[in-house]
Structure 1
Amino acid sequence: MWRLTLRSTLARRARLALTVVAVVLGVAFVTGSLVLTDTSTRLLDDQFRTATAGTDLTVRDAVAFDSAMGVEVARDPLPETTVRRVAALPGVSAARPLVRGEGLLEVAGRPVVPRGASVLASWEPAPVGAFPVRTGRAPAAADEVVVDEDTARAHGVRLGDTVTVRAVETARLRVVGLAGFGDRSGLPDSTVALVDLATAQRLLRLGTGVSEVAVVAAPDVAAGDLRQRIGQALGAEVEVATSQDIAAAGAKAARAQLDMIRVMLLALAAAALLVGAFLIGNTFSIVVTQRARELALLRAAGATGGQVLRSILGEALLVGVAAAGLGAVLGVGAAAAMRRLAGAFGVPLPDGGLVVTPRTLLVAAVVGVLVTVLAAAGPARRAARVAPVAALRRATAAGTGRTRTGLGLLATVTGGAAAGLVATGAPVTLLAVAATGALLGLALLGPALAPPLVRLLGRPLRLAGTPGRLAVEAAARTPARTAATALALALGLALISYLAVLGTSVKNSIRDSYAEVVTADLVVESARGEMLGGLAPEVHERIAGLPEVAVTSRIRYGHWRDGEQVSALTAVDPATLPRVAALRMTAGSLDALRGGGVVLAEHVARQRGLRVGDDLPMTFSHTGTRRLPVVGLLRDSDARALATDHIIALDTFATLYRERADASVLVRLAPDTDPAVARRAVTAALADTPTADVRDQAAAVAGRTGMVDQVLGLVTALLMLAVLIALLGITNTLALSITERTAELGLLRAVGASRRQVGWTIRWEAVLVAALATTVGVTLGAGFAAATVAVLDRDAPTALALPAGRLAAVVAVALTAGLLAGLLPARRAARMDVLRAIATP
């Protein structure tokens, strides 16, 4: 039977070709996602391991937690005496002071603003230092600097050139060397400026303080023993960590920013495989129907139902193995392409050699084979039930079945009820039940719904004459096939529509709440959009001193631990904020923040059962757990405008955090001041602060919604792969259907239909299937987006917004793609030999 299976598969390789392509694309997506995330993780691990490779221990200021939301917390500098005390301890071979901070480079008068960090650090030789000088020499004087090779290459920096380094202080320095980072040419998407210790302390205004102390243990001393010894000598004010711990913590903080990308890629890969599974199942269903007589003859010749079942599953296994192998190979190239695509949408990923693990190859093989075999299981079971007497009859299309329709109605009603419950306040987890019910219901009800929907959507095609009418009838005559083909495309379009509606709703809500609350004339923010700010305090001081400015109000952000979770908070000036923002308190007052309390968004207070006067325990990295009194409740939409649900005063922030960078400066212009003149004055005052961006309200809103656009753009681009797989399904279905419609098409030609008319009949059928998929997909996506918006509206006002233009573009692209998907089958049908077609049984 296995020989028969192999021969049968090879004999029908043309019919299965597009199925193989669909599985290949799905497996390539899965493989590429795993390769990309494994590569990013490995590169980050290597980066931080390299940075600490020559150090056994690191001594630094103690904090309650290292990082939050992918950002490492700021630490206090250590006094110079700490370095001497560590160096004097027995078992210490070397104790080297290190200084590290933020230092922006300017080359030829132009600031170099990377997407990553602008690192300013004191240079140290190996084994402590991680930046070996590749060209030139190390910095030895106060006016010398070494830059990384990547930056030098990208901006034409050569030895002897003069560059400007802007930190707390600014200095013009002469480039005396070019450095690498381990075996690389620099840090990913970052700039590095290395100076001597005294210069680093001066530029960062640390006095004689240092960021940390790198400790090298004596050859005969264990790092664990030395760690305990240093900890006992210095006490709890410092943290003594091994190099492995430092590397792991730094890599973990960096990887936290990749978690969203990892989850997103794997979710999209699952969607692509699900679409491919529909195509596989549909293909095998068609092939089994066309082979009904052959299978019945096998049964008449003595083959059992189990043998037929194993034969069909064997074909699926061969297809899955071949597709998994090709998909795994293509997945490596897909990883590189996805990394470039992510960079194009403003989501940079670490650059370096791709990492392909045995686990990735195993997952690719298992996924490819399992998806193919499971998708073919249904058609295989039907094939096993083919009776020998069927050899005496022509194959007919399967009916819809009352049981199938009943189950479909039950699944649809269940899904709709779950979605309705979510919209009215039920847990958001029910959305998964709703989505599953809707998808299962559509799959089961498809054959019953397809004919009326096809005839309804096909009414405009009657204007196309005979080809249009024939296309409508052909699609309606095989409802199961039409429904299965359309559903695969509908799933991809539903996801795209869901993201379009949800993204537009969120963006509009952010824009509306910001415009309603923030009344400032200008907003000054970091051009790089750092999570915790990026504006030096001097920015506020310079703006506040301008005669064109009446009021300035600073905003800062910070992180705190809430049990095992990390949350963000906003720090404001209660005295000036009301003059640049129209906040609506529902209890308490903003002015009460001066006493060291916290204002909560209404939904947070409701969820926690808190009222004004209650205490909220909050854990901060430097001060540990503090209980802050709740002094006010703020409307949820106003809290959204301030970006967090927890608000404290700037004075309180100063006692809890070491960070001093502002995130925004809200500016109210003086009366009778020309806005254009004032903006030029503010811009001129910040001319030597290139990372400060002066924005009007529209630009400030665009900055807040830009990340939404970037993520949605990236996800939509990746979802197009699922749509491509579904379009292959239309091509494959029509190509396979032509085989069983050979006699019909021959008769059409015999009674006078031209090649052009036959070709357009097939093309219009493809367009009709795409129209059915578009109608179902857009409706489904918009419906689930509405339910999601209702969930978001519980925490902050979020109104449903339908992006008519974008949805119209989705419809136009889908219909055009459907037309293109029908080109090859139409060409084959039009070129069919009339006499041979008529003679086909």
Structure 2
Amino acid sequence: MWHLTLAHVRAHRSRFALTLLAVVLGVTFVAGSLVLTDTSQRLFEDQFRTATAGVDLTVRDAAAFDSAMGVEVERDPLPATLLDDVRAVPGVADAAASAAGQGLLKVDGEALVPAGASLLASWSPAPYGAFEIRTGHAPTADGEVVLDVATARTYGLAVGDRVTVQADTTETLTVVGLAGFGAEDGLANTTMALVALPTAQRLLDLGDQVTQVQAVAADGVAPADLQAAVAAELGSDYDVATAQDTLAAGAAAARSRLAMIRVMLLSMAGAALLVGGFLIANTFAIVIAQRARELALLRAAGATARQLRRSVLGEAAVIGLAGSALGTALGVAAAYGLRGMAGAFGVALPDGGLVVAPRTVLVSVAIGVVVTVLGALGPARKAAKVAPIEAMRESAAVPARRGRVVTGVVAATVAVAAVGSALAGAPVAVVAAGAVAALVALTLLGPVLAPGLARVVGRPLDAAGLTGRLARESAARAPRRTAATTTALAIGLTLITFMTVVGASVKASLAGTYEEVVRADLVIESARAEMLGGLSHEIHHAVEEVLGVAVVSRMRYGHWKDAGATSALTAVDPATLGKVADVDMVAGSLADLAAGGIVLAEGQAAARGLGVGDALTMTFARTGDQQLPVVGIIDDGDAQALATGFLIAMDTYAQHFTEDVDASLLVGFADGADAQATKAAVTAALEAYPTAAVRDLAEAVAARASAVDQILGMVTVLLLLAVAIALLGITNTLALSIVERTREIGLLRAIGTTRRQVRWMVRWEAVLVAALAVVIGVGLGAGLGAATVRALSGADPVPVAWPLDRLLLVVALTAVGGLVAGLLPARRAARLDVLQAVAAQ
């Protein structure tokens, strides 16, 4: 049977060509996603490994946790005397201090703004520093700076050029050297300026303080033993970490940053494979039906049902293995494209050679083979159950089994109930259950509903004349084939519609809430959208001095640990916020924040059972566990406009955070001030701060919407792969159906139907299948999207936005795609020889 299986695959390879392509595309996506995230993780780890090579211990100010949401927490500087204290510990061979922070580079007044960070650090020779001089010499005196090779190459800089470094203070320095970061030319998406320690301390306004001390163990002293000795000497105010600990912390932060994109990519890959699974199942179902006589002869010749089942599954395994191997190989190349696409949508990932782990190959191949075999499982069981004498007869469409229909109706009822309950306020988990039930119902009831839907949806094809009517009836006569092909495309359209509706609703909600709450004339934010802000603390002073500005209210963000989970908070100025925002307090007063404490969003307070006068336990990186009294409850919508459900005062923020950068400045104009002139004056006053974006309220709203658009755009592009696979399914199904309908097409040609009419009959059938998928997919996606928006909106229902322009574009593209998908099968049908077709069995 194994030889027969291989022979059949070889003999009918054209039947499986598009199925193989579907497996290739799905596995390519999986492999590319794994290669990309593994590569990014390895490159990040290599950076941390290079940075700690040769150093045994790193001493920094103590913190309750190292990073939050992928962002390294900022620590207090260290006293200058700490270096001598570390050197005095027995077992320390040598130690060195360094200083590092943010430092923007400018050339001829123009800022060099990378996609990532602009860093400034003191130069440290090996083994304390990871940078090595490639050209020129190290910075040893004031007025000297070394740049990384990547920055110099990107911006056309060389030794001898003059650059301005803007940190807490600003100085113009001479480039005396170019350095590489280990084997690399620099850090990804980052500019690096290296200066002498006194220069770094002056630029970062540290006085004689430093940011860290690194130590090397004496010969024969284990790093762990030295760590214990240094920690005992310095006390609990300092964090003493081995190089291995530092590497692990950095790798954990990198994994946190990559977690979202890994989940997103693999989720989209799963959607593509799900759609591919329908294509595979449909292909094998058609092929098995076409091989009925052949299978009957095998049974009559002595083949058992088990042997036939194994033969069909063997064919699937061969196709799955071949497609998976090719898809895995293509996935390596696809990782480059995925990295470029992520960068185009604002997700910066490090450049470097790709990492193809054995796990990636094994997982990709296994997924491809398993999906293909599972797709063929139903047709294989059907082939094995058919009796020899039954398989030899001409068979019409097999009626749907009663149990299948009953199960489908139950699943449909559950789906409708889940969506309805979500619209009435049920949680989002109910929507997820409803989505699964809808998929089950669509799969089981598709063959039952397909004939009626095909005739109703295909009614407009009557305008195309005979070819349109024939296409409609052909789709209705093959309900299983039509349903399976439609379902595959409908799944992709459901996901795209779902994301479009949810994204548009989120955008509309953000815009509406922000505009309702914030009434500032200007909003100043970082153009780089840093998570914690990125605006120098000096900016608000510069804006306050502009003629026509009446008030400047500052906002900052921070991270804290909430029972092990990371949450964000917003720091505001309670004295000025009310002048530029309409804040609706449910209980307590925003002004009470000035005395310390916290204001909670209504939903957060209800979830925790807290009210005014209670205390919330919060863990801060710098100060550890703290009890903050609840002084007020704010409306959920207003809290959303201020970014988080936890509000503290700027003074409270300063007690628990070292970071000294603002996230937003809400600017209010004086009565009678000219809006355009004042905005221009503010922009001019901030020329020295090129990363500060000055926006009016409409522009600020648009900037928030653009962040949603970036995510939605990337997901939509990825989901288009699933739609492309589904369109391949239309091509494949119609091409295989031509074999079944050879005699029918021959008779049509014999009674006078032209080649052109045959071509259009097949094309219209492809368009009809696409139209059915549009009706089901767009309808289902819209319903699930509306239910999800309602479930996520909490007590105050968020209006569902219907982006009709995008949905109509999806409909149009799908119709065109269906027409294109029918071109090859139509050409094949039209080219059939009339006499041979009429004589076909």
Q: Same fold (TM over 0.5)?
A: yes
Alignment of 1:234-633 (within 5 A): 234-633=234-633
Q: Which amino acid aligns with 1:250?
A: G
After TM superposition, give the deviation of residue 660 of structure 1 in Å.
Answer: 1.2
Q: Which amino acid aligns with 2:577?
A: L
Cα distance in 2 between the residues matched to 1:212 and 1:266: 39
1:215 aligns with 2:215: yes
After TM superposition, give the deviation of residue 392 of structure 1 in Å.
Answer: 4.1
Alignment of 1:18-97 (within 5 A): 18-97=18-97
Cα distance in 2 between the residues matched to 1:638 and 1:185: 46
The 1:735/1:296 distance shift into structure 2, 3 A limit, reads same
Cα distance in 1 between the residues matched to 2:462 and 2:787: 37
Q: Which residue of structure 2 lines up, in the alignment, with residue 767 of structure 1?
A: 767
CA contact (8 A) 1:93 1:217 kept: yes
CA contact (8 A) 2:45 2:251 kept: yes
SS in 2 for 1:591: helix
Q: Which amino acid aligns with 1:656?
A: H
Cα distance in 2 between the residues matched to 1:311 and 1:546: 81
SS in 2 for 1:528: coil
Q: Give the stretch that moved more between structures: 295-304 or 130-139.
A: 295-304
SS in 2 for 1:416: helix
After TM superposition, give the deviation of residue 6 of structure 1 in Å.
Answer: 1.2
Cα distance in 1 between the residues matched to 2:609 and 2:757: 70
After TM superposition, give the deviation of residue 141 of structure 1 in Å.
Answer: 1.3
Q: Which residue of structure 1 lines up, in the alignment, with residue 644 of structure 2?
A: 644
Cα distance in 1 between the residues matched to 2:532 and 2:287: 59
The 1:374/1:189 distance shift into structure 2, 3 A limit, reads same
- Deviation per residue, 1:162-214 (Å, 9 max, x gap): 01110000010111111111110000000000000000000000000000001
Q: Give the stretch that moved more between structures: 322-331 or 700-709.
A: 700-709
CA contact (8 A) 2:44 2:251 kept: yes
Runs (4+) of structure 1 exceeding 4 A deviation are: none
Cα distance in 1 between the residues matched to 2:797 and 2:149: 49
Cα distance in 1 between the residues matched to 2:195 and 2:732: 64
Alignment of 1:143-222 (within 5 A): 143-222=143-222
Q: Give the stretch that moved more between structures: 235-244 or 392-401.
A: 392-401
After TM superposition, give the deviation of residue 422 of structure 1 in Å.
Answer: 3.5
- Deviation per residue, 1:46-72 (Å, 9 max, x gap): 111111112100011001111111111
After TM superposition, give the deviation of residue 421 of structure 1 in Å.
Answer: 3.2
SS in 1 for 2:665: strand
CA contact (8 A) 1:504 1:803 kept: yes
Cα distance in 2 between the residues matched to 1:56 and 1:607: 45
Cα distance in 1 between the residues matched to 2:294 and 2:221: 79
Q: Which residue of structure 1 lines up, in the alignment, with residue 742 of structure 2?
A: 742
CA contact (8 A) 2:593 2:648 kept: yes
Cα distance in 2 between the residues matched to 1:186 and 1:705: 33
Cα distance in 2 between the residues matched to 1:197 and 1:387: 86
Cα distance in 1 between the residues matched to 2:182 and 2:35: 23
Cα distance in 1 between the residues matched to 2:202 and 2:494: 57
Cα distance in 2 between the residues matched to 1:247 and 1:699: 41
Q: Give the stretch that moved more between structures: 484-493 or 693-702.
A: 693-702
Cα distance in 1 between the residues matched to 2:781 and 2:774: 10
After TM superposition, give the deviation of residue 654 of structure 1 in Å.
Answer: 1.2
Cα distance in 2 between the residues matched to 1:392 and 1:813: 43
CA contact (8 A) 2:59 2:238 kept: yes
Alignment of 1:669-688 (within 5 A): 669-688=669-688
**Identical counterparts, % of pairs:** 60
CA contact (8 A) 1:501 1:802 kept: yes
- Deviation per residue, 1:586-628 (Å, 9 max, x gap): 1111011111011111001111111111111111111111111
Cα distance in 1 between the residues matched to 2:594 and 2:773: 58
TM-score of the pair, normalised by structure 2: 0.99
Measured on the aligned residues, the alpha-carbon RMSD in Å equals 1.1
Cα distance in 2 between the residues matched to 1:55 and 1:495: 50
Cα distance in 1 between the residues matched to 2:302 and 2:511: 71
- Deviation per residue, 1:129-166 (Å, 9 max, x gap): 01111111111111010111111111100110001110
Q: Which amino acid aligns with 1:560?
A: W
Cα distance in 2 between the residues matched to 1:589 and 1:808: 48
Segments of 5+ residues of structure 1 without an aligned counterpart are none
Alignment of 1:705-744 (within 5 A): 705-744=705-744
Cα distance in 1 between the residues matched to 2:308 and 2:69: 55
After TM superposition, give the deviation of residue 251 of structure 1 in Å.
Answer: 2.3
After TM superposition, give the deviation of residue 490 of structure 1 in Å.
Answer: 0.5
The 1:15/1:7 distance shift into structure 2, 3 A limit, reads same
Q: Which amino acid aligns with 2:264?
A: M
The 1:166/1:828 distance shift into structure 2, 3 A limit, reads same
CA contact (8 A) 2:292 2:392 kept: no
TM-score of the pair, normalised by structure 1: 0.99
- Deviation per residue, 1:725-747 (Å, 9 max, x gap): 11110000000000010111111
Cα distance in 2 between the residues matched to 1:364 and 1:586: 53
Q: Give the stretch that moved more between structures: 403-412 or 754-763.
A: 403-412
SS in 2 for 1:80: coil
Q: Which residue of structure 2 lines up, in the alignment, with residue 103 of structure 1?
A: 103
How many pairs are equivalent?
841
After TM superposition, give the deviation of residue 254 of structure 1 in Å.
Answer: 2.6
- Deviation per residue, 1:462-493 (Å, 9 max, x gap): 11111101000000010110000010011011
After TM superposition, give the deviation of residue 798 of structure 1 in Å.
Answer: 2.4
Q: Which residue of structure 2 lines up, in the alignment, with residue 124 of structure 1?
A: 124
Q: Which residue of structure 2 lines up, in the alignment, with residue 233 of structure 1?
A: 233
The 1:796/1:689 distance shift into structure 2, 3 A limit, reads farther
Segments of 5+ residues of structure 2 without an aligned counterpart are none
Q: Give the stretch that moved more between structures: 80-89 or 271-280.
A: 80-89
The 1:85/1:797 distance shift into structure 2, 3 A limit, reads farther
CA contact (8 A) 2:230 2:240 kept: yes
Cα distance in 2 between the residues matched to 1:740 and 1:642: 63
Q: Which amino acid aligns with 2:536?
A: A
CA contact (8 A) 2:570 2:642 kept: yes
Cα distance in 2 between the residues matched to 1:301 and 1:230: 83
Cα distance in 2 between the residues matched to 1:175 and 1:213: 26
CA contact (8 A) 1:292 1:390 kept: no
- Deviation per residue, 1:754-807 (Å, 9 max, x gap): 111000000000000000011111111111111111121116652211110101
SS in 2 for 1:206: coil
Q: Which amino acid aligns with 2:269?
A: A
After TM superposition, give the deviation of residue 255 of structure 1 in Å.
Answer: 2.3
Q: Give the stretch that moved more between structures: 413-422 or 362-371.
A: 413-422
CA contact (8 A) 1:292 1:395 kept: no
CA contact (8 A) 1:509 1:797 kept: no
SS in 1 for 2:172: strand
Cα distance in 1 between the residues matched to 2:473 and 2:700: 54
After TM superposition, give the deviation of residue 312 of structure 1 in Å.
Answer: 0.9
Q: Which amino acid aligns with 2:701?
A: V
CA contact (8 A) 1:749 1:755 kept: yes
Cα distance in 2 between the residues matched to 1:677 and 1:469: 67
- Deviation per residue, 1:14-41 (Å, 9 max, x gap): 0011000001111111111111111111
CA contact (8 A) 1:101 1:121 kept: yes
Q: Which residue of structure 1 lines up, in the alignment, with residue 840 of structure 2?
A: 840
Cα distance in 1 between the residues matched to 2:94 and 2:465: 89
CA contact (8 A) 2:790 2:797 kept: no
